[in-house]
A and B are shown apart, each in its own frame.
Chain A
Amino acid sequence: MDDRETMTETLCAMLARRGFGRRSLLQFAIAMTSSLALPPSVAPVMAANLAKAKRRSVIWLSFQECTGCLETLLRSSSPTIDSLIFDFISLDYQEALMAAAGDAAERTLREAVAANKGQYLLAIDGSIPIKDGGVYSLTGGRSNVEMLAEIATNARAVLAIGTCAAYGGIPKAYPNPTGAVGVDDLVSGKPIVNIPGCPPVPEVLSGVLVHFISFGRLPDLDDRKRPLAYFGTTIHDQCYRRPFYDQGKFAKSFDDAGARQGWCLFELGCKGPTTHNACASLKWNGGASFPIESGHGCLGCSEPDFWDAGGFYTPLAGGSPPGWRNAGIAAAVGVAAGAAAALAARGRAASARHKAGPSPEETP
């Protein structure tokens, strides 16, 4: 099959080529509908739309990233329709995966943009450094800031994949030497979908893509532009250890008796209650497990500034208090100010006694 044929092939045809029938597509649609928190009646509509769907162009720009987001999306333990969705999109530009390099790669980008003007999805992973003219992350001599501005202009929508792209992520952690920011801080006038997580749950991206492919629009988003279907609840509200939390059964240290019984990890720094993501329900590695199930508290990696939130092992009930040295200094400053006040007071009192008239009998 040549390139032109694959480009115009419907999803149904592609799946048939791979050995997946209509029934499989419908089952997939049912699963996806549920995952997207859509009513069950939508499933056959989604299946029909998916069957007719043409390939969508996706341009993927990697900025100041570790490539973890891409890696996680590529993990596929078995060929599921999920992973095939990624095959179905036309990933027209992705620096790590594409064969082309250098000038050839840049030409590919320009051609992809031109060919799909106004239609392509722009996927971004990695933060965008803006300090010092954006010099800290360049591709072919061009800064990420410049590239983002140019390529976003003609995109249908921007997907900020991973916490770095969504909120700035790890590069943004104090002291943020590169001036890293998220997509939302730079792009305006375009629909943006944040898919945070460090890395994000792969099924979340496929869910967003399926929604887009099926219905031609992006799913409902929350106030942080995250798909409500996946980020509408917290880890805490879906966590299988929640009964222990409610009963007040907490592990006090890793591998203590409570920990071994699977007790709640709140006291070991779990940020589940304030973290919105689908880890506790969809889990990782094809539903194998997720951090809490493995005995480590949630890091809160899909929330902004999770790296600067006071420490992974500092419980939510704690924070970053000043430290004894600074507290001591504050106390000393207070005593000094109070002493000064007392000194002034003594002076005023003495002056008052003096003004009241000297009396040999008065006690000083």
Chain B
Amino acid sequence: MTLLAFARGPALQAALLIMIAGIFWRLAGIFLLPPRAQHAAPRHSLAGRIGGGALMIVSRFIPHHTFWPRVAMSVVLSTTFHLGLAIILLGGAPHILLIHQVTGLTWPGLPKGLIVISSGLTLASMIVLLIRRITHPVLRMLSTVDDYLSWLLVFLPVLTGILLAGETIGGYGTLLALHILSVELMMVWLPFGKLMHGALVFAGRWGMGMNFARKGAAT
């Protein structure tokens, strides 16, 4: 079996199944713990609390004014990275094709040049983020193998993707196989490390938003 056939076939199946099983495992293991009943009189109705939950998912993207000077760099870098990745994933024609194959949904893609620019910005921001992680005392202290591994497992797909789209270095078939395999590696690791934040962030912000709306606390 060629490497590409392996990547598009058995490896894809194994990676997806492991990722799906792992995500549900971790979520079930968290959410099936005994919940704590809340009996205190809420400041807002259920509708208000649900609104609070929904609102926080969006509002947490921009920190409060009081924090700005100290976190601006982190926010700009992180936003660039995430937005860049979103543009690549949701605007890149081959990715839309894959989503279409799995779900039937489709939408117009962005011009290739924009995707390439976005990839460049994503890669650049990732490199700066890595340098920051290694040099900033707080980040260096907090960081574990998971942090660096997760960085690598996201960097490789973006890198192989931009090389593939550029079609100047390496053979298309080989690069495509490497690109798909690198994504599969990321998928296999996803449920078990910090990449899971892709799923957890919504639950976390939602929960805090509802809880804080209940208390009328600052959000």
Q: Do chains A and B touch in the complex (CB under 8 A)?
A: yes
Interface pair A338/B16, CB less than 8 Å apart: no
Residue of B nearest to A327 (CB): B20
Chain B residues lying within 8 Å of A332, measured Cβ to Cβ, are 24
User: A183 → chain B, closest Cβ, in Å?
Assistant: 17
Chain A residues lying within 8 Å of B93, measured Cβ to Cβ, are 248, 250, 267, 317
* A to B CB contacts below 8 Å, 13 in the list: A305-B1, A309-B8, A316-B94, A318-B97, A319-B180, A327-B16, A330-B20, A332-B24, A334-B25, A334-B27, A338-B32, A339-B32, A341-B28
Interface pair A305/B101, CB less than 8 Å apart: no
| B-contact bits for A305-345, CB 8 A (1 contact / 0 none) | 10011100011111111100011001111111111011101
Chain A residues lying within 8 Å of B26, measured Cβ to Cβ, are 334, 338
- Point out which of A308, A342, A349 has the most chain B C-beta atoms below 10 A from its C-beta: A342
A321-B102, A338-B25, A338-B27 known, 20 other contacts, Cβ within 8 Å: A246-B112, A267-B97, A273-B173, A304-B5, A305-B2, A317-B97, A317-B98, A318-B8, A318-B98, A319-B101, A320-B9, A322-B12, A322-B16, A327-B16, A331-B21, A334-B26, A335-B24, A341-B25, A342-B30, A349-B34
Task: Provide the bound-state CA to CA distance between A317 and B165, in Å.
Answer: 12
Q: Is the interface of B mostly helix, strand, loop or mixed?
A: helix
CB < 8 Å: which of B12, B25, B97 contacts A335? B25
Residues of B within 8 A of A (CB): 1-2, 4-5, 7-9, 12-13, 16-18, 20-30, 32-34, 93-95, 97-98, 101-102, 109, 111-112, 171-173, 176, 180
Chain A residues lying within 8 Å of B7, measured Cβ to Cβ, are 319
Interface pair B20/A273, CB less than 8 Å apart: no
Task: Provide the bound-state CA to CA distance between A310 and B171, in Å.
Answer: 20
Residue of B nearest to A323 (CB): B13
Interface pair A274/B17, CB less than 8 Å apart: no
A303 interfacial by beta-carbon distance below 8 Å: yes
Interface pair B28/A334, CB less than 8 Å apart: yes
CB < 8 Å: which of B29, B101, B173, B176 contacts A342? B29
Task: Provide the bound-state CA to CA distance between A341 and B25, in Å.
Answer: 9
With A318-B98, A318-B101 as contacts: A305 and B5 at CB distance below 8 Å: yes
Interface pair A236/B8, CB less than 8 Å apart: no
Task: Provide the bound-state CA to CA distance between A308 and B5, in Å.
Answer: 8
Residue of A nearest to B37 (CB): A363
Interface pair A321/B16, CB less than 8 Å apart: yes
Chain B residues lying within 8 Å of A303, measured Cβ to Cβ, are 2, 173
Interface pair A331/B20, CB less than 8 Å apart: yes
User: A72 → chain B, closest Cβ, in Å?
Assistant: 24
The 6 closest A-B pairs by CB, nearest first: A338-B28, A334-B24, A317-B94, A319-B8, A342-B32, A274-B173
A234 interfacial by beta-carbon distance below 8 Å: yes
Chain B residues lying within 8 Å of A315, measured Cβ to Cβ, are 94, 97, 101
Chain B residues lying within 8 Å of A236, measured Cβ to Cβ, are 172
Interface pair B172/A273, CB less than 8 Å apart: yes
